[in-house]
Amino acid sequence: NDGFFSNIISSSDEDQQNKRDKSLNNKLLTSSPTLLDRITKLRLNANATYDTYSNDQNLELYNKRMEIIEKMQKSNDAIVEMNEKKQKFLKKPPMKKIK
């Protein structure tokens, strides 16, 4: 019995994961690569600072970094949205001139 249900659960999880992967890929295609690079670097650097500073300093740095990441993420989302609109616009057939 357990095997049957775990199969159902894992396959639906896989479907959801596939959907997430597809939407992520779409976002990546229309995202600003420089922004994504910066976000990634900030996240990686966040992990590197833990050894260097005290807990209070770490928390402060982490919070500042997260604020920056959030802002960058928002602007990247805005870029994604604009690019998606642009793609839709470009896919539309050109309007016919009225004579």
What is the distance in angstroms between the CA of the first residue and the CA of the last residue of the chain? 71
| DSSP code at position 50 | G
Token couple for 75: 């602007």
For the record, the structure tokens of 20 come out as 């997430």
Q: What angle do CA 32, 69, 27 make, to 5 degrees?
A: 35
Which has more pLDDT, 85 or 51? 85
Q: In the chain, where are the structural domains located?
A: 29-75
- pLDDT tens digits for range 36-80: 777 777 777 666 655 566 677 778 888 888 888 888 888 888 888
CB distance 35 to 75 below 8 Å: yes
* Of residues 62 and 95, more confidently modeled: 62
